[in-house]
Amino acid sequence: MSTTHRPHSSMRHLNLIGALLLTATTACGALSNNKDADASANGEGSGGSGSEEDSGEDGGIGGPDDEDFEVVSTITGNVTIELFGEDEDGQRYSIPWEESGFDSWPFGPIFVAAYELGTDGQAGRYAGTKVITQPEMGVSEYEMTVKLREEKDIYVYAAVDVLNDGVVGTEDPRGVWPESIFVTNDVVIPDVDMTVLTQAENEIVCDDGETIDITGSAYVTVDYWGGDIAVMLMDEDGNGPYHVARTLEVGAGEGATTTYSLEVCPNYGTMQLVSAWDANVNGVFDGGDRWGVYSATGETNSNPVTVGDRNMNNYPMWMPLGDRPGVDLLPFVTLQGSVRLASGEPMSSLPSGTNIHVAALKYRPNGDLLVTDPAVHHDIDTFSWSSLSSTGTELSWDLLLPSDNIVYLWVFADLNGDGIVNSVGEPIGALNPTEHGKTPTGQTGFGGIDLVLQDVEEEPAEP
């Protein structure tokens, strides 16, 4: 068991050894000392390129039996991990795996999930998950069972556990399938492919190498059937975790009790203590698990806590408790806006056969670009000449994008309709043109984005 630290302030990545020790109150108190081997043996899927754990339960918390699900189907596809770096101006560039210096997979597992939207428009019930425990460098296959009570739309995303702390956190890079998928019973939905852009960062210690310990007990107050338990430190807004301590699973029984010691950097200020039990036993802590919080009484949430420069003792954690579904993570956001011509003329004034593409690119465009190639963008909204010729002076567009990410938001007029854009003489436009279209997607998305197509006679967009 270890304590892992995520970036906060001047601290980026830090791995330290902590302690999360099992005490009594389980029917069988033996620890499993071969978790990785067990996960590999129990989780191999028929469609993965590495070991996989599959969960299609009702949120992973002991939901209805299979016969209560009217829809049981399968989604397959690939998750491609692309490495990137940033130049001195903060602009991203691609790093091929063969030039990365990595001889083997350097991160933790890849988590793939299908979920329904909640009534608030946020990520709701998990309809299925897949954990790729031994990913390939580059492309990993997955096969995921999806279980629903009725035919409906779902959304799919993938995340990389960069720090290998076992938590699907807000800072873990992710990719999304850029549209909803309508699922009917007993079908296989192929080619749901996603790309996750991932940056490998160096690990450094806390400022001056100083740490403090947060200690206490952690209680599971419902029937416990195995699965790891973790305690973690989040910020007030639910971002993180910044530090994680976890234990191997304990024997099944009527509840479980652990004692934990979480090593953290000092002087964070106001934070939250959160706990989780891997109830769906898929090897990661995700929104389908049982979550809890620090509670002095075991009845109500006692967060926030103040992290100063001294050790903090006797902070009990209770699971399940509170209304949080886990890390506050909305996998996707929507950017919306309009496109117009700088001249103010109607779209029909463009040459016949023109297409317009609004694209959230992975990198800043440089020279001719086949914008319709899925490898170059996160999402794209294309308007054909048949719609341009009958529209007015503006077009409305929307893109479904990974949250907490960076995209390069551009609009291109493809004058000959061949999909190749950014050529000399073709109109282009970008949000934040001084930043070459570089746009943070944030956690909530936003609208009202005005993209203007400008005539470019001499030079296309360049780095």
- Give the model's pLDDT for residue 349: 95
- Give the model's pLDDT for residue 414: 96
Integer Cα distance of 77 and 195 in angstroms: 11
Q: How confident is the model at residue 327 (pLDDT cuts 50, 70, 90)?
A: low
- Give the model's pLDDT for residue 426: 94
Q: Encoding tokens for residue 394?
A: 């503006």
- Kindly report the backbone phi and psi dihedral angles of residue 417, in degrees, each rounded to the nearest multiple of 5, phi listed first: 70, 25
Integer Cα distance of 261 and 273 in angstroms: 12
Q: Which residue has the higher pLDDT, 8 or 54?
A: 54
Q: Which residue has the higher pLDDT, 237 or 251?
A: 237
> Do 3-29+203-319 and 332-453 agree at the fold level?
yes
Q: How many CB atoms lie within 10 A of CB 291?
A: 24
- Give the model's pLDDT for residue 59: 39
**pTM (global) more than 0.75:** no
Percent of the chain with pLDDT over 90: 52
Least-confidence region, from 55-69, 107-121, 370-384, 407-421: 55-69
Q: How confident is the model at residue 53 (pLDDT cuts 50, 70, 90)?
A: low
The answer to whether residue 15 scores a pLDDT higher than 50 is no
**Residues β-bridged to residue 218:** 258, 317
* pLDDT tens-digit series, residues 162-180: 888 888 877 789 899 999 9
**Residue closest to 228 by CA, chosen among 53, 44, 15:** 53
* pLDDT tens-digit series, residues 409-437: 999 999 999 999 998 889 999 998 999 99
Q: Whose structure tokens read 């954990």?
A: 131
What residues contact residue 39 under an 8 Å CB cut-off, 6+ apart? 51, 53, 133, 283
Based on the number of CB atoms within 10 Å of its own CB, is 119 exposed (0-12), middle (13-18) or buried (19 or more)?
A: exposed
The answer to whether residue 214 scores a pLDDT higher than 90 is yes
Instruction: Give the amino acid at 410.
Output: W
What residues contact residue 433 under an 8 Å CB cut-off, 6+ apart? none
Architecture (CATH level 2) of domain 3-29+203-319: Sandwich (2.60)
- Give the model's pLDDT for residue 6: 44
- Give the model's pLDDT for residue 18: 35
> Which helix (H) or strand (E) element contains residue 300?
none
The answer to whether residue 33 scores a pLDDT higher than 90 is no
- Give the model's pLDDT for residue 252: 57
Q: Is the peptide bond before 427 cis (omega within 30 degrees of 0)?
A: no
Domain locations along the chain: 3-29+203-319, 35-198, 332-453
- Give the model's pLDDT for residue 202: 46
The answer to whether residue 281 scores a pLDDT higher than 60 is yes
Q: Which residue has the higher pLDDT, 324 or 419?
A: 419
* Domain 332-453 sits in CATH 3.40.50: no
Give me the chain's average pLDDT, please: 81
* pLDDT tens-digit series, residues 393-407: 999 999 999 988 899
What residues contact residue 64 under an 8 Å CB cut-off, 6+ apart? 58, 149
Q: Which residue has the higher pLDDT, 146 or 456?
A: 146
Per-residue pLDDT averaged across 244-263, rounded? 76
Q: Encoding tokens for residue 114?
A: 């299908």
What residues contact residue 266 under an 8 Å CB cut-off, 6+ apart? 206, 210, 211, 212, 307, 308, 309, 310
Q: Encoding tokens for residue 23?
A: 């005490």
Alpha carbons within 13 angstroms on the beta-carbon side of residue 323 total 0
Report whether 1 contacts 246 (CB < 8 A).
Answer: yes
Q: How confident is the model at residue 37 (pLDDT cuts 50, 70, 90)?
A: very low
**Residues β-bridged to residue 398:** 336
**Residue closest to 123 by CA, chosen among 421, 400, 308:** 400
Integer Cα distance of 143 and 148 in angstroms: 17
**Residue closest to 51 by CA, chosen among 282, 257, 208:** 282
Least-confidence region, from 24-28, 173-177, 265-269, 428-432: 24-28
What residues contact residue 316 under an 8 Å CB cut-off, 6+ apart? 216, 217, 218, 219, 294, 295, 296, 298
Per-residue pLDDT averaged across 299-307, rounded? 94
**Residue closest to 183 by CA, chosen among 150, 221, 232, 228:** 150
* pLDDT tens-digit series, residues 96-154: 999 888 899 999 999 999 988 866 666 678 899 999 999 999 999 999 999 999 999 99
Integer Cα distance of 161 and 180 in angstroms: 24
The answer to whether residue 58 scores a pLDDT higher than 70 is no
Q: How confident is the model at residue 280 (pLDDT cuts 50, 70, 90)?
A: confident
The answer to whether residue 256 scores a pLDDT higher than 90 is no
Alpha carbons within 13 angstroms on the beta-carbon side of residue 263 total 17
What sections of 262-334 are H helices per DSSP? Answer: none
